[in-house]
Chains A and B, each alone.
Chain A
Amino acid sequence: MSKIPPGLLPEGLRDRLPPEAEAAARLLRSIMDSVASYGYERVSPPLAEFEEGLVGQLKSDGAQDLLRIIDPVSRRTLALRPDITAQVGRIAATRMAGRTRPLRLAYGGEVLKLRATQLRPERQLLQAGAELVGSDSVAAASEILSMAVDALEAAGVTDITIDLTLPDLVPTLAAGPFPLDPGLVDSVRAELDEKDAGAIAALGADAYLPLVHAAGPLDMAMERMRAIDAGGALQSRLDGIAGIADALQGRATITLDPTERHGFEYQSWLGFSLFGADMAGELGRGGSYTICHADGAEEVAMGFSLYLDPLIDAGLGWKEKKRLFVPLGTESDLADRLRSEGWRTVAALTDADTADGLDCTHQLINGEPEPL
């Protein structure tokens, strides 16, 4: 193998330098403070754990791609976490199984994806979020979404859009009021993903067309969805959506996309994506889901996750630098006082050090900070 050039990192991994690394820490802190103010307590699961513990924790139909290693100590397969939600589910189902429900937990940390995509080239992401274990009611959803909006606002995101989705609606309808030939379910879902009305009609799934046409701003979407006669399954979901929208009144633009299942592998009746002004991608997502206990019991939960990297890249979390150059021979009392006033002091160690060279914004003149 050829020698690795100095500084080269594996694909999808990177160093964060000043001031980005600090912005990342500041953003994480503001989000954690925001969810803590709602009574969510922080847990900190490990970076890697037994693969068995990570997989199958949340009820889902899809297999997950994990970065696995064989642990030389236990000789079992370990997996690096691609998502902290499943770990929080494990904690809730084991060590904190005895705690009174609802259980309110928060987390923030790095996760590692097996593969980067062209659209999201990072493999290591900073994830932060909150999970409400023991309820997936409208009240729970309203709390989670209000908190997500608060957290994004605290991070500096403006013009927040929440796209609500009903991840289990299509399977529910296919099993009941709008039956689909089992052989066609996959094709219909693929066309629903593309929102290709023509192809859905061509597959003979005309009953699903109004769902595609309903996607859009909440008022219009609700009106169109209410017009669809599909029995109680749809009715109860729409009533839930209406309740959530009421709780969020005016705090964000709300859209409804009843057939979206993009990345909602384990969500049940409700899913949502979060968007912000001038940000090309999704900022976070969440919804209701089911945690599987070891004894086969199932427990409902609701939560949201934010990915901080797009926020950092958009320049959020930055703070004005107040770096003050402290020349040789300055009284240590003076430097202490300036630090206590919020200055970041950068002390000269030799005569050769200069304010400019050390990236300072201010210098001391007659004992007072002056801009450079």
Chain B
Amino acid sequence: MAKPIIFAIPKGRILDEALPLLAEAGIIPDADFHNKDSRALRFGTNNPDIDIIRVRAFDVATFVAHGAAQLGIVGSDVLEEYSYSEIYAPVDLDIGHCRLSVAEPADLAASDDISEWSHVRIATKYPNFTRRHFEAKGVQAECVKLNGAMEIAPALGLTRRIVDLVSSGGTLKANNLVEVDILCEITSRLIVNRVAFKTQPEIRPLVERFREIVGGSDAA
């Protein structure tokens, strides 16, 4: 094959859970991938037809949507935020479980009634999804976009509420915040560029392979 398939993998929390799945699918990154000192961004694998790139989770979706990468693994939070039309998410990999939640300081939560909101100010990494979610409930959400450390926003008076990923709830607790509403449950998905799915015949068997690994009622 002239050009290898590019498989985009997120840095961070999903990576450790994704590697065993990739190995099961017969994709093992070169040793350099695990070298913390390596400055490389693109890595070969045991399969000469597949290369891996390691980028930020939000960028996985961007690379795949534009067709710069053909396959990727990304949380459904990122897919909800962008709702790119050029991405298929054919397989729920059942890893990276967490939820996207609204949190606020414990003392505010004690007297707060969500059903009475008409306008909220929210610090979040997911302004599009948050706005859409609240709009559907008839609430106008004014979002302050942050790229991390949302939990500090209420204590410093940036916004009283945040929308962020919650897995154990430990970070919220440490910042004296409580979860008051869940926007959605999150898992990681295998994603595929729409054009690549249709025009590159070698993509489909890979998707089927992941579907088999995850198993369950959806096996073809």
In angstroms, Cα B198 to Cα A280, docked, is 12
Q: B99 to nearest A CB, angstroms?
A: 16
Stretch of A180-188, A197-205, A231-239, A287-295 at the chain-chain interface: A197-205
Q: B92 to nearest A CB, angstroms?
A: 4
Report A-chain residues with C-beta under 8 Å of the C-beta of B68. Answer: 280
Report B-chain residues with C-beta under 8 Å of the C-beta of A280. Answer: 66-68, 195
Report B-chain residues with C-beta under 8 Å of the C-beta of A216. Answer: 204
Report A-chain residues with C-beta under 8 Å of the C-beta of B86. Answer: 119, 281
A68 within 8 A of B: no
Report A-chain residues with C-beta under 8 Å of the C-beta of B220. Answer: 197, 213
B57-94 CB mask vs A (1 if < 8 Å, else 0) is 00000100111100000000001000011111111100
A114-140 CB mask vs B (1 if < 8 Å, else 0) is 000011000000000000000000000
A83 within 8 A of B: no
In angstroms, Cα B195 to Cα A263, docked, is 14
Q: A119-B85, A198-B92 are in contact. Are A262 and B194 (CB under 8 A)?
A: yes
Of A161, A163, A196, A273, the contact of B92 (CB 8 Å cutoff): A196
Report A-chain residues with C-beta under 8 Å of the C-beta of B199. Answer: 161, 253, 255, 275
B182-204 CB mask vs A (1 if < 8 Å, else 0) is 00000001001011011101001
In angstroms, Cα B218 to Cα A271, docked, is 27
Q: Does A196 contact B198, Cβ atoms closer than 8 Å?
A: no
B12 within 8 A of A: no
Q: A262-B194, A280-B195 are in contact. Are A198 and B85 (CB under 8 A)?
A: no
- Chain A contacts with B in 204-240, Cβ cutoff 8 A: 206, 209, 212-213, 215-217
In angstroms, Cα B52 to Cα A158, docked, is 28
Report A-chain residues with C-beta under 8 Å of the C-beta of B218. Answer: 197-198, 200-201, 209
A252-290 CB mask vs B (1 if < 8 Å, else 0) is 010101000011000000000101000011100000000
Q: Does B214 contact A161, Cβ atoms closer than 8 Å?
A: no
Report B-chain residues with C-beta under 8 Å of the C-beta of A209. Answer: 218
In angstroms, Cα B201 to Cα A216, docked, is 8
Q: B153 to nearest A CB, angstroms?
A: 27
Number of interface residues of A (CB under 8 A): 30
Chain B: CB-nearest residue to A163: B198
A194 within 8 A of B: yes
Chain B: interface size category: 20 to 34
Q: A349 to nearest B CB, angstroms?
A: 47
Q: Does B65 contact A119, Cβ atoms closer than 8 Å?
A: yes
Of B62, B85, B192, the contact of A262 (CB 8 Å cutoff): B85
Q: Does B198 contact A199, Cβ atoms closer than 8 Å?
A: no
Q: A161-B199, A273-B198 are in contact. Are A196 and B66 (CB under 8 A)?
A: no
A195 within 8 A of B: yes
Q: Does A255 contact B65, Cβ atoms closer than 8 Å?
A: no
Q: B146 to nearest A CB, angstroms?
A: 21
Q: Among A193, A198, A215, which residue has the most Cβ atoms of chain B within 10 A?
A: A198
Report B-chain residues with C-beta under 8 Å of the C-beta of A200. Answer: 218
Q: Does B91 contact A197, Cβ atoms closer than 8 Å?
A: yes
Q: Among B62, B90, B192, which residue has the most Cβ atoms of chain A within 10 A?
A: B90
- Chain B contacts with A in 164-219, Cβ cutoff 8 A: 189, 192, 194-195, 197-199, 201, 204, 211, 214, 216-218
Q: Does A119 contact B66, Cβ atoms closer than 8 Å?
A: yes
Q: A119-B65, A216-B204 are in contact. Are A195 and B88 (CB under 8 A)?
A: yes
In angstroms, Cα B79 to Cα A216, docked, is 23
Report B-chain residues with C-beta under 8 Å of the C-beta of A119. Answer: 65-66, 84-86
In angstroms, Cα B92 to Cα A200, docked, is 11
- Chain A contacts with B in 139-175, Cβ cutoff 8 A: 161, 163
In angstroms, Cα B79 to Cα A262, docked, is 16
Report B-chain residues with C-beta under 8 Å of the C-beta of A213. Answer: 220
Q: A194-B90, A253-B199 are in contact. Are A281 and B217 (CB under 8 A)?
A: no
In angstroms, Cα B92 to Cα A197, docked, is 8
Q: Does B198 contact A198, Cβ atoms closer than 8 Å?
A: no
Of A198, A215, A263, the contact of B216 (CB 8 Å cutoff): A198
Of A212, A215, A275, the contact of B195 (CB 8 Å cutoff): A275
Chain A: CB-nearest residue to B87: A194
Of B62, B79, B198, B201, the contact of A257 (CB 8 Å cutoff): B198
Report B-chain residues with C-beta under 8 Å of the C-beta of A199. Answer: 92
Which 9 pairs, one residue from A and one from B, show the smallest C-beta to C-beta distance? A197-B218, A280-B67, A195-B90, A198-B92, A194-B89, A195-B88, A213-B220, A198-B218, A161-B199
- What are 15 pairs between A and B in contact, CB < 8 Å? A118-B62, A118-B65, A161-B198, A195-B88, A195-B89, A196-B89, A196-B189, A197-B90, A197-B211, A197-B220, A199-B92, A201-B217, A212-B90, A255-B199, A281-B67
Q: A197-B90, A201-B216, A282-B195 are in contact. List 8 more A-B contacts (CB 8 A).
A: A118-B65, A161-B199, A194-B89, A195-B90, A198-B216, A213-B220, A255-B198, A280-B195
